[in-house]
Amino acid sequence: MNYQETTEWMFYQLPMYQLQGASAYKKDLTNIQLLVNHLGNPHTNLKCIHVAGTNGKGSTSHMLSSILQEAGYKVGLHTSPHLKDFRERIKINGIEISEEFVCDFINKNKGFFESNDISFFEMSVGLAFDYFFKENVDIAIIEVGMGGRLDATNIITPLVSVITNIGLDHTQFLGNTIELIAFEKAGIIKNRIPVVIGEYTTETKEVFIKKAKECISDIYFAQDLISKTYPSDLTGDYQILNKKTALLTVNILNAQTAFNVSPINIEKGLLHVTKNTGLQGRWQQLGNAPKVICDTAHNREGLHIVLRQIQKETFEKLHIVLGVVNDKDLNQILPLFPKDAIYYFCKPNIPRGLDSSVLQKNALNFDLHGKTYASVPEAYSFARKNSTKDDFIFIGGSTFVVAELALNERL
């Protein structure tokens, strides 16, 4: 199979949460253990940082990669989901895994995947471990897919565990209270491995401290950190805590491992995250006059911060291109959106996308008004046509909405 055939087989023949939702979620680590044993357990030879959290784990992972790259290290980075190309999930020093490596890995192991019902995410994790091991990276930053305790990445023993924050997302899998979700995320805390908590509440802090004590693990809280303020090319307000989390993680690496990262490495790393890693979709500016911003925030906590930041902007009219997936709790997120905006409702181009007319109907319950459009690009096109140079256009609601525009638009 060529690359296109290979990725199509991965996306559509095997369970994939990005497309299917609940049916793709695995309840234990049996399959991933089976897979890494088949591959020769490459993860046991990797030095890793493990990053979980409801929001911010992608940004934090990319910040850490950029900083470590500036320090001269060969850094593997595994994240999800991708925006356009599967290879975005697996990078070394910002360079995506080659099409050839992906094809060779899948073709070589296809029979094993089929006979053992290996999920899309499990094979992606196995591929990342195999690639990073064969390419002899100095360190691998491994982002959790969902949750933590039962996530396929949770077979590594990292140098540091990181939990950015906790919010009510994926409640159908992780639990419907903050405490239950915190318990699932805390599942990445390992025996005698330090853990950094980016942001906490009274409820979640107790869960994290209890788990850390059980594991005899030192625990650190980034939101309490008083440190030098480093500027970054990731400019969203929510990046303030992500920067603190990355900085505290690097401090622990310096203090407790052989890694050596200087203040200038940190400064340059935070300034050049996008350049060094290729990160897209975080308060990303796509245009001027009118100013156009897209952001992948898609749950209540993330959208609250992003929408609050929009109100700090100066503009005549606000245009919002909005689409979501069909398992999103609209009663949780729609009340956050401003009533004085003009809405362009659309469906992201994936099977899980919510029909734009359903989104429009629900939005009316919260006094949000706008028309429906056949696609994300069409909705954006009409937003551009209807706006003046002094207006502001926001694109969001789902990673998959941003994916259809962020890599194609340029200033």
Q: What is the pLDDT of residue 168?
A: 59
pLDDT tens column, 67-78: 999 999 999 999
Average pLDDT over the chain reads 92
Q: What is the pLDDT of residue 154?
A: 97
In the predicted structure, residue 8 carries a pLDDT above the cut 50 = yes
In the predicted structure, residue 60 carries a pLDDT above the cut 80 = yes
**List of E strands, 280-329:** 284-287, 291-294, 318-322
Tokens of residue 378, six digits: 């069409």
In the predicted structure, residue 24 carries a pLDDT above the cut 50 = no
Q: Torsions phi, psi of 300, nearest 5?
A: -55, -45
| 213-to-154, 192, 224, 283 alpha-carbon distances in Å | 19, 9, 20, 37
349 SS3 class: coil
Q: Which residues contact 152 (CB under 8 A, 6 or more apart)?
A: 26, 29, 31, 32, 119, 121, 122, 125, 145
Q: What is the spatial distance between Cα 334 and Cα 336, in angstroms, rounded to a whole number?
A: 5
Residues facing residue 285 across a β-bridge: 293
In the predicted structure, residue 19 carries a pLDDT above the cut 90 = no
- Average the pLDDT over each of 18-22, 180-184, 344-348, 372-376 and give the range with the smallest value: 18-22
pLDDT tens column, 142-197: 999 988 999 999 999 999 999 999 885 544 444 458 889 899 999 999 999 999 99
Q: Is 338 exposed, middle or buried (0-12, 13-18, 19+ CB in 10 A)?
A: middle
Q: What is the pLDDT of residue 227?
A: 73
Mean pLDDT calculated for residue range 228-246: 92
Q: What is the spatial distance between Cα 289 and Cα 253, in angstroms, rounded to a whole number?
A: 43
The CA-to-CA distance between both ends of the chain, in Å, stands at 37
Residue 407: HSE in the Cβ half-sphere, 13 Å Cα cutoff? 12
Place of tokens 């915190």: 182
Compute the C-alpha angle 241/170/246, nearest 5°: 20
In the predicted structure, residue 411 carries a pLDDT above the cut 80 = no
pLDDT tens column, 279-328: 999 999 999 999 999 999 988 988 999 999 999 999 999 999 999 999 88
pLDDT tens column, 242-286: 999 999 999 999 999 999 999 999 999 999 999 999 999 999 999
Is the entire prediction scored with pTM above 0.85? yes
β-strands 75-78, 90-92: how paired?
A: antiparallel
Mean pLDDT calculated for residue range 359-380: 98
Q: What is the pLDDT of residue 21?
A: 46
Q: What is the pLDDT of residue 141?
A: 98
Q: What is the spatial distance between Cα 52 and Cα 141, in angstroms, rounded to a whole number?
A: 11
**Quick one: what percent of the chain has pLDDT higher than 70?**
93
Q: What is the pLDDT of residue 125?
A: 97
